[in-house]
Chains A and B, each alone.
Chain A
């Protein structure tokens, strides 16, 4: 197991340098330079333009800029945003808890509903429940998020008045020095009704962000289960007279989980970055919207360092998933 972990960690280093290079190059490959974009119609004089180029080090050769960037990253300095003039790290960690909280909730929502749905569909293969569920999953998978979110807001918040329209908590509540995890902050504050308000605000964004993972997990679980249910050992288990619950729940599901865990692991990365639309619609102060705005503004430090931080987190998640495999399936550990 130790060797397995070490080989995994060894691949971390080249990936890290690769990410710094790609993050650095990506934003510079886009046409347009941040000074002109910032100035807009107002424009800048040629002298002022040169002055600003120099101030931001853009007058240096590109490789020198990269070395300079790499050097600061290795010294733990991820730079300051051109736009807000604040350190990128500070902005990232002010916003990241919001994205993380939403992603975790969406993932829990998707797994808690998706797994049983997939199992039930597989067991009842070809029956009405299976067909309905798989059609629903296809719709869920292909539905435009933007439309789905607005539909939910208009019906659930607007017409029925069941949930708030957007935001993370009612404006009545206000916490000094929050951790950024609203569920925790609202509980820790001890203010009456705060936790309930935070929960209510989470409902719609969780459903919207969790819809695609839910559909994917349900379909993945179903097909993995179907494959396993056709195996010899399941037939043996049936022949032994085990209860259907034991066969499906213990023998089949455990083996079917491996591909499902893979999908869940990959989904975490997608959720962190893919929350852009959900965050924008629900005015959710997370990193998705922040990155998008920064790309439009050509805010180089935010884009390159933000990408790097997200990549590091996704890499860490993937590593965890790999280790989890080992736990579920001893075959992988030994390879």
Chain B
């Protein structure tokens, strides 16, 4: 006990002493993490606090892009049939240590295999720890995809797949694929505290977890042994601040240096503030209005095109997004590779729309528009958006009734193939791969599920299926570009908007790069003296 107090005092003194001289970056995060094992959770707030500072993955997204670069794997080979991915691991990568654990070896193939098997194999002792449901592993179809993971030698791991899957590499850069320490997991299991893997995380990442006070503060220290070099800042602190106006005040008072998700109403004042800088980027998302293409008259592409032309999207952007958005013409945002900028959107033209509806023999049309009950980055106010559409469509003689349901019901009911009405919804990408938008939202497999337009077009389906099984990026790009042309011609959705994400920082902060996938990471960030 005496010993304990001694250590406590030393630790406190060490922390206070280092706080005085060290470079500390305070990030006013928008919410609390659910835990620190990224594979257990699905929210971006949790990933910001766990996967990005604490862990690495086999491959990583190059900062500021959706491209893949080496991470814990220095290189990789893909077999000609696309069924085998062999990763060559980096040597000499150190795991963090804490009060109860000091690693005895460097990261190796066992850690990689453990990180995935705990999510896949029911006989793995960690499969049920912390009530794990492994939502992302399941959601990305990993259990069906991965046949086995083989240790070739200490620094070589081979993933054998059941079918070729081009987005596999991008999946390996996702947060759920973070590499955990098997040695730590074994030690915690032996100590009878396996949940510590989630509560006192050990990773290989640029920052080491120090402490979390629930709903208040998370503390990290720079990992001095980080394989890519120590971070420029010494201490990273997340000050959990749920209210956007308060985040802005804290930023002004220099109580934090980075504060995400500003109120749209504050953005102009922030831009004018000489102490702040403002970064912006399109979000990895799309907001859309999905027709039910299996129900007349919306089974007729001409009717869908006419409705698209009757809606004034720019007005929606101005009113609903207040400038924090851009008009969408494709089902994928421009930050994703293969975005086809040559596609022409339907111009806003009520007169032509009216004529097209008459030519298609549609008169006195009444339809429902479903408005989501929640705010989303791709649609900050669905009710308002639906009202604007209602007014636009009244001008071409279409009578619109707006309906809404509780969010859970909304998501379930909108899946039905016999659903009455067009649905406002959207999507935020997971891994920056076009397949993650086009196949999930518009593929034939998604009909009755995530494909809210209930749209199954053979020409489109053929293109995206071919793109899924080839790993050649140039070839895939060509296929996806063509798929976007087919999509626009057939108009199963009215594409509405991609959000624009703003990021206010103090002037002194350098090296911060916005991530098109939406997360926040602080490796490479420095504070000018």
Same complex for A and B? Answer yes
Chain B's nearest CB lies how many Å from the CB of A174? 5
Which residues of A sit under 8 angstroms from B240, Cβ to Cβ? 283, 285
Q: Are A94's CB and B214's CB within 8 A?
A: yes
Chain A's nearest CB lies how many Å from the CB of B378? 9
Query: Would A31 and B406 be within 8 Å (CB), given that A43-B411, A172-B16, A174-B16 are in contact?
Result: yes
What's the tally of chain B residues with a CB closer than 8 Å to chain A? 56
Q: Spot the interface stretch: A125-133, A157-165, A241-249, A313-321.
A: A157-165
Query: Would A171 and B408 be within 8 Å (CB), given that A43-B449, A161-B253 are in contact?
Result: no
Which residues of A sit under 8 angstroms from B237, Cβ to Cβ? 171
A177 interface residue, CB < 8 Å from B? Answer: yes
Whole-angstrom CA separation of A274 from B62 in the bound complex: 46
Q: Are A31's CB and B15's CB within 8 A?
A: no
Q: Are A32's CB and B408's CB within 8 A?
A: yes
**Chain A minimum-CB-distance residue to B440:** A42
Q: Are A42's CB and B16's CB within 8 A?
A: no
List 19 additional contacts besides A39-B135, A165-B249; criterion CB under 8 Å. A36-B412, A41-B427, A43-B411, A55-B133, A83-B34, A85-B35, A85-B130, A86-B35, A165-B250, A165-B255, A167-B239, A173-B16, A178-B213, A281-B243, A281-B246, A283-B215, A283-B243, A285-B214, A285-B240
Q: Are B215's CB and A289's CB within 8 A?
A: yes
Which residues of A sit under 8 angstroms from B360, Cβ to Cβ? none
Q: Are A158's CB and B26's CB within 8 A?
A: no
Chain A's nearest CB lies how many Å from the CB of B65? 23
Whole-angstrom CA separation of A40 from B246 in the bound complex: 28
Q: Are A165's CB and B253's CB within 8 A?
A: yes
Q: Please report which residues of chain B, range 385-432, place their CB below 8 angstroms from some CB of chain A when the two chains form the complex.
A: 405-409, 411-412, 415, 425-428
Chain B's nearest CB lies how many Å from the CB of A72? 15
Which residues of A sit under 8 angstroms from B242, Cβ to Cβ? 280, 283, 289
A37 interface residue, CB < 8 Å from B? Answer: yes
Q: Are A153's CB and B249's CB within 8 A?
A: yes
Which residues of B sit under 8 angstroms from A322, Cβ to Cβ? none
Which residues of B sit under 8 angstroms from A84, Cβ to Cβ? 34-35
Q: Please report which residues of chain A, range 125-148, place their CB below 8 angstroms from some CB of chain B when the two chains form the complex.
A: none
**Chain B minimum-CB-distance residue to A158:** B249
User: Majority SS of interface residues in chain B?
Assistant: mixed
Which residues of A sit under 8 angstroms from B412, Cβ to Cβ? 36
Q: Which of A86, A191, A281 contacts B16 (CB 8 A)?
A: A191
Whole-angstrom CA separation of A178 from B426 in the bound complex: 43
Which residues of A sit under 8 angstroms from B11, Cβ to Cβ? 176
Chain A's nearest CB lies how many Å from the CB of B218? 11
Q: Please report which residues of chain B, range 14-50, place their CB below 8 angstroms from some CB of chain A when the two chains form the complex.
A: 15-16, 19, 24, 26, 34-35, 40, 42
Which residues of B sit under 8 angstroms from A85, Cβ to Cβ? 34-35, 40, 130-132, 195, 198
Whole-angstrom CA separation of A289 from B408 in the bound complex: 22
Q: List 25 A-B contacts (CB under 8 A).
A: A32-B406, A32-B409, A33-B408, A37-B408, A41-B427, A42-B42, A42-B450, A52-B133, A86-B195, A150-B245, A165-B255, A166-B255, A171-B255, A174-B15, A176-B8, A176-B12, A176-B211, A189-B12, A191-B16, A280-B242, A280-B243, A283-B216, A283-B241, A283-B243, A285-B213
Which residues of B sit under 8 angstroms from A174, Cβ to Cβ? 12, 15-16, 19, 211, 219
- Please, what's the 1-or-0 string for B224-256, where 1 marks a CB less than 8 Å from any CB in chain A? 000000000000010111110110011011010
B139 interface residue, CB < 8 Å from A? Answer: yes
Q: Are A48's CB and B215's CB within 8 A?
A: no
Which residues of B sit under 8 angstroms from A38, Cβ to Cβ? 42, 135
**Chain A minimum-CB-distance residue to B210:** A174
- Please, what's the 1-or-0 string for A274-290, where 1 marks a CB less than 8 Å from any CB in chain B? 00000011110110011
Chain B's nearest CB lies how many Å from the CB of A290? 7
List residues of chain A with CB under 8 Å of any chain B CB: 30-33, 36-43, 45, 48, 52, 55, 80, 82-86, 91, 94-95, 98, 150, 153-154, 157-158, 161, 164-168, 171-178, 189, 191, 280-283, 285-286, 289-290, 298
Q: Are A154's CB and B249's CB within 8 A?
A: yes
Q: Are B246's CB and A36's CB within 8 A?
A: no
Q: Which of A37, A40, A80 contacts B131 (CB 8 A)?
A: A80
**Chain A minimum-CB-distance residue to B139:** A42
B278 interface residue, CB < 8 Å from A? Answer: no
**Chain B minimum-CB-distance residue to A170:** B255
Q: Which of A37, A94, A175, A289 contacts B12 (CB 8 A)?
A: A175
Q: Are A43's CB and B255's CB within 8 A?
A: no
**Chain B minimum-CB-distance residue to A282:** B246
Whole-angstrom CA separation of A174 from B219 in the bound complex: 9
B217 interface residue, CB < 8 Å from A? Answer: yes
Chain A's nearest CB lies how many Å from the CB of B131? 4
Which residues of B sit under 8 angstroms from A167, Cβ to Cβ? 216-217, 239, 241, 255
Q: Which of A36, A83, A158, A189 contacts B252 (CB 8 A)?
A: A158
Query: Would A157 and B215 be within 8 Å (CB), given that A84-B35, A166-B246 are in contact?
Result: no
Which residues of B sit under 8 angstroms from A280, Cβ to Cβ? 242-243
Which residues of A sit under 8 angstroms from B132, Cβ to Cβ? 85
A83, A153, A164, A283 — most chain B CB neighbours (10 Å) = A283
